[in-house]
Chains A and B, each alone.
Chain A
Amino acid sequence: MKFIDEFRDPVKAQVLLKEIEQLVGRIERARALPRPLQIMEVCGGHTHAIFRYGLKQMLPPAVEFVHGPGCPVCVLPMGRVDDCLSLAEQPGVIFTTFGDALRVPGSKQSLLQAKANGADVRMVYSPLDALKLARENPQREVIFFGLGFETTMPSTAMTLLAARRAGVRNFSLFCNHITIIPTIKAILDSPDLHLDGFLGPGHVSLVIGTQPYEFIAGHYHKPIVIAGFEPLDLLQSLWMVLKQLAEGRSQVENQYARVVPATGNRAALAALQEVFELREFFEWRGLGSIDHSGVRIRAAFAEFDAERKFSVPNLKIADPKACQCGEVLKGVIKPHECKVFGTACTPETPLGALMVSSEGACAAYYNFGRIDISGLRGNAPELERRAAV
């Protein structure tokens, strides 16, 4: 496919892998490393791509990806899912959301189970589809469960603006949008932090630009490279991070410049500013409460705010004790090192949300990485030969 296959060229990958190996050698010679270099990919889309293309098997063992908090489904606390269920079960409500939010476990059931038990829960591909449902069902109340980082936030904001313009009265948003910068800061402030550098989220940065990450390089002295989602994007971004480490630099660099402008997207940012404001704090699954990490709907749009329009129990439910989601999210342990990984917690019976979404680190490990298939690079010699030509 044009504009896709160019970023999946295995011959170019071999060239990059060779250079990555050389850089790792340089870094190892410069510092006596007691452990592998840990590079966090912040975004769940990156986690998915790393596993889908088998990048883990291709890298030298001295480099490890740490799968960060960037899957919005995975960081959703159980209490919020229970709040959704409470909204979905109110009479006359059509409750709508994205596909992968449907399977996240609440304390008693998921939205999919609630649907099977009679709640009118529907999957939509966009909040605009939810608004369309509201216009087609004027006698019903349509609630859209909005979640995600700055990636999905603009489409929700635009939908509320469209709903207000059209005078729709039976549409509201249960806002669970979260914002990435305070979360990265919380991870950087964690006392058990081991990370050496970051692959910055491509889609989020398309909205916010690259400038908000300056503190990571400036204050915390960690390199960050905004990365695209194709496998060559990821390898090149990793190479850029390692190059900074080898040269003793820490800067914000933009590998995904074909999509991400330094200043972000002004129209999207203006819509966010008009519709949302920061919450004082927001609860994250596994990470606890993080100041200013969530947004709520401004008072000017109160008529579209499900939290004002309906009674939401606002439940606080502690994560299951055995779950070590927080340590996985911070890169302190690998998914398979969690006490319940693959036993009590599997994709069929997820205890932690990291096991639910295909972007979740634990589900990706379980589905794609739980068995050692390091011998699978059967075609590598042929690729190396082609790369050398």
Chain B
Amino acid sequence: MQRGRGKVRDTTITLAHGSGGKAMRDLIQDVILGAFNNPLLAPLEDQAVIGLHELARGGDRLAFTTDTFVVHPLFFPGGDIGQLAVNGTVNDLAMSGARPLYLSCGLVLEEGLPVETLRRVTQSMRAAADLAGVSIVTGDTKVVERGAADKLFINTAGLGVVPTGVNISASRARAGDQVIVNGYLGDHGCAILLARNELALETEVETDCQPLADLVATMLSVCPDIHCLRDATRGGLATVLNEFAQASRVAIRLHENALPLREEVRGACEILGLDPLYLANEGKLVALVPAAFAEPLVAAMRAHPAGQQAAIVGEVVEAPAGVVMLNTGFGGGRIVDLLVGEQLPRIC
């Protein structure tokens, strides 16, 4: 099979690249295979065929997930849409305790997208997949007319294997469980806001986008009975904890002073009237664990590159069921509710 740079002569994506003809074949062989090549993808069949015996060695259940990535801008401080598309799906698998193995990649390209942009994004996906230890084994490409999409959308689906005995679920929180996060909150949401350049703030915050499967494996080795685990993406920490509190019919109490927040993120939130508890993250997880395991778990997480600022930020209590509360650093208390709509900056 001939592939490599140079087969695609156009500098921008045209409708021909989605037509099923030679232009499309060249694009796939050159840009897509050029980045993702591996033995399962290389035959370019309509499906990847995966041996069951190999999967069964890793555990007794499959984890299967999908997510679609639409972000503006495509490139932002510390990351890009390709890295997000890999880590987002890898992390969704990891939150069941699964070891992520295989990803699919569906690309929706807007006519006029520079081919070079697609190259950068696919190379970034490859680098992220290598780091997370997964292979991109099947995919699809569609081109839509200019205006029908915003430059580039990516869908990724993922397969992973859940080790025997691991049983993580949003409904398993129990009174006494401790709430743990693996580091600074809100970096990704803040980085995207600042990268849109609508605010003319000079502070630069980088996305926290990172794969979490290896950190989760480390956590499971210390505490095999993690009750709840979720990555705090859209909606942030507040949303995840509300989901846990409602699914488990418990209350969760957070301590404002214990929340790891960068000064830059706190500052940007102050200026904009936003609450960092609701800002998106792309490399942060929230775990509810039995109290006896909390401190050794945090110690192990801090020794891992993806958990250096891990902290215990709250605990599960019995009542009022379904409610998340915050002890403010000032000595008061308030409810941390689900957000209605998007956070919108306040008028004054």
Contact = CB atoms under 8 A, between A and B. Distances in A.
A203 to B, nearest CB: 6
A377 B333 contact: yes
Interface string A1-37: 1001000101001100000000000000000000000
A359 B273 CA distance: 10
B348 A383 contact: no
B330 A148 contact: no
A54 B330 contact: yes
A230 to B, nearest CB: 9
Contacts of A4: 270
A55 interface: yes
Residue among B327, B344, B347 facing the most chain A CB atoms (10 A cut-off): B347
A383 B346 CA distance: 32
A297 B347 CA distance: 21
A348 B338 CA distance: 11
A105 B346 CA distance: 17
B331 A58 contact: yes
Q: Which secondary structure dominates chain B's binding surface?
A: loop
B96 to A, nearest CB: 30
B21 interface: no
Given A98-B345, A99-B345, A358-B346, A14 B331 contact: yes
Nearest to B320: A371
Interface in B320-338: 320, 323, 325-335, 337
Contact of A373 (B198, B335, B346): B335
B184 to A, nearest CB: 15
A368 B346 contact: no
A10 B330 contact: yes
B330 A100 contact: no
A45 interface: yes
A6 B337 CA distance: 27
B45 interface: no
B78 interface: no
A351 B334 CA distance: 24
Interface in A372-389: 373, 376-380, 383
A281 interface: no
Interface string B256-292: 0000000100110010010000000000000000000
A1 B330 contact: no
A51 B330 CA distance: 12
B330 A13 contact: yes
Contacts of A151: 348
A178 to B, nearest CB: 12
Nearest to A101: B347
Contacts of A379: 255, 327, 331
B332 A73 contact: no
Interface residues of A, number: 54
Tell which of B270, B273, B328, B344 has the most Cβ of chain A within 10 Å. B328
A358 B343 CA distance: 9
A367 B344 CA distance: 15
A370 B323 CA distance: 11
B332 A58 contact: yes
A373 B333 contact: yes
A87 B320 CA distance: 46
A103 B332 CA distance: 29
B1 interface: no
B49 interface: no
A243 interface: no
B131 interface: no
A377 B332 contact: yes
Interface in A329-379: 347-348, 357-359, 366-371, 373, 376-379
Contact of A125 (B199, B326, B327, B334): B199
B52 interface: no
Given A72-B347, A357-B346, A373 B331 contact: no
A58 B66 CA distance: 46
B341 interface: yes
Interface of A: 1, 4, 8, 10, 13-14, 44-45, 48, 51-58, 72-73, 98-103, 112, 123, 125, 129, 147-149, 151-152, 203, 231, 347-348, 357-359, 366-371, 373, 376-380, 383
22 contacts: A51-B334, A52-B334, A53-B332, A53-B334, A54-B332, A54-B333, A56-B332, A57-B332, A98-B347, A99-B346, A100-B346, A123-B344, A129-B198, A147-B347, A151-B348, A152-B347, A152-B348, A369-B335, A371-B335, A373-B325, A373-B333, A377-B327
Given A4-B270, A148-B348, A377-B331, 10 more contacts: A1-B266, A1-B267, A8-B330, A57-B333, A103-B341, A123-B344, A151-B348, A371-B323, A373-B333, A379-B331
